[in-house]
């Protein structure tokens, strides 16, 4: 493993240890508060979930802002582009040894590239796609944080939870679809801008009839319409209806007391 990889591995391990430490600290603090208040054993779990969900939502907002700024302001953009199924051809007579399996067919259909000079349209689409990739799970974390906060306050079916669940449904449904579609559009635009050529010159290579055909992938185009955001959005909308029903039932119960 290279030094670069070890560096990233060390950072990942540090982040994991930090998260574990935060969870342990929140769990101990919540347990102490629960014991002091004489509440049930579920309060520490709800407190920890509230804290972590709030942190998650905050990181999501920060991550979305960073994704937009880096994509729009930096001269080079890291982007995934689609390509027509491609596998580089080797000169005739090439013998490769030591591979236990043999490729029979298929090839690359996408590539992660660091692109310079990307058009504004592709940058904007990619920036929105990356930002939504952060904000969609951040909205879910926000809903979890609000629900836990109201639960600790003794208002499990507060109207704000129902409203937040409906907002989350819209964000997940619209944002999930937009993130995929805009990302595919940006990738297809970048593929054409990077790989589509009008003329080329190259020296002959022994055993290769057409160097560009053998070694230069052709840009691909594809837009995927995901269905999971629709299902997830409907689930959160149904959850909002459950909370509205619980809120009405709670009001009726309080009126009878």
- What's the pLDDT tens digit per position in 63-86? 899 999 999 999 999 999 999 988
Residue 103 placed within a domain: no
Tell me which of 13-17, 94-98, 126-130 is least confident: 13-17
Prediction pTM value: 0.78
Q: Cα torsion at 225, 231, 232, 233 (round to 10°)?
A: 90
- What is the per-residue pLDDT for 125? 96
Q: Tell me if 174 is assigned to some domain.
A: yes
pLDDT at 34 over 60: no
Asked, for residue 235, whether it belongs to a domain, the answer is yes
Residue 145 resides in a domain: yes
pLDDT at 15: 58
For residue 101, the SS3 value is: coil
pLDDT tens digits for 142-157?
999 898 888 888 787 8
For residue 137, the number of C-alpha atoms closer than 13 Å in the C-beta half-sphere is 12
Say if residues 86 and 102 touch (Cβ distance below 8 Å).
Answer: no
What's the domain range around 73? 10-86+109-195+211-256
- Residue 242 included in any domain: yes
What is the per-residue pLDDT across 164-221, written as a single tens digit (0 to 9) for each? Answer: 999 999 999 999 999 999 999 999 999 999 988 887 777 777 777 777 777 788 899 9
Residue 233 in this model has a pLDDT that exceeds 90 = yes
- In sequence order, which residues have a C-beta less than 8 Å from that of residue 50 and are 6 or more positions away? 144, 145, 148, 149, 152
**Average pLDDT score over the chain:** 81
Tally of domains in the chain: 1
pLDDT of residue 207: 74
What distance in Å separates the CA atoms of residue 122 and residue 114, rounded to the nearest whole number?
Answer: 13
Q: What does 39-86 look like in DSSP terms, one character per residue?
A: --THHHHHHHHHHHHHHHHHHHHHHHHHHHHHHHHSSEEEEEEEEEEE
Report the pLDDT value the prediction gives residue 2, as an integer from 0 to 100. 42
Count CA atoms closer than 13 A to 34's CA, side-chain side: 17
Domain annotation covers residue 144: yes
* Nearest Cα to Cα of residue 159 among 221, 248, 72, 98: 248
Judged against a pLDDT cut of 80, whether residue 134 lies above it is answered with yes
> According to the model, what pLDDT value does residue 138 have?
93
- Interval 101-130 mean pLDDT: 91
| Greatest distance between any 2 Cα atoms in the chain | 92
Is 73 within the bounds of a domain? Answer: yes
148 and 50 Cβ atoms separated by less than 8 Å: yes
Residue 19 has pLDDT above 80, yes or no: no
């Amino acid at each position: 493993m290279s030094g670069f990889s070890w560096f990233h591995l060390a950072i990942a391990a540090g982040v994991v240890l930090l998260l574990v430490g935060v969870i342990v600290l929140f769990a101990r603090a919540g347990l102490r508060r629960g014991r002091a208040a004489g509440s049930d054993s579920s309060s520490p779990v709800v407190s920890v979930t509230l804290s972590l969900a709030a942190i998650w939502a905050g990181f999501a907002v920060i991550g979305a802002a960073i994704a937009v700024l880096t994509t729009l302001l930096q001269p080079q953009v890291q982007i995934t582009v689609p390509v027509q199924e491609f596998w580089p051809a080797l000169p005739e007579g090439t013998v490769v040894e030591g591979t236990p399996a043999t490729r029979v067919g298929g090839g690359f259909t996408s590539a992660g590239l660091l692109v310079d000079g990307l058009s504004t349209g592709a940058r904007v689409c990619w920036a929105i796609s990356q930002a939504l990739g952060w904000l969609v799970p951040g909205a879910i974390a926000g809903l979890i944080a609000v629900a836990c906060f109201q639960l600790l306050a003794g208002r499990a079916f507060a109207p704000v939870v129902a409203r937040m669940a409906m907002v989350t449904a819209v964000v997940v449904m619209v944002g999930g679809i937009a993130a995929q579609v805009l990302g595919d559009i940006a990738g297809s635009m970048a593929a054409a801008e990077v790989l589509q050529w009008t003329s080329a010159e190259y020296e002959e290579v022994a055993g290769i009839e057409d160097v560009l055909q053998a070694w230069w992938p052709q840009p691909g185009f594809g837009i995927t319409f995901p269905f999971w955001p629709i299902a997830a959005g409907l689930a959160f909308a149904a959850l909002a209806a459950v909370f509205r029903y619980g809120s009405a039932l709670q009001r009726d119960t309080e009126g009878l007391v």
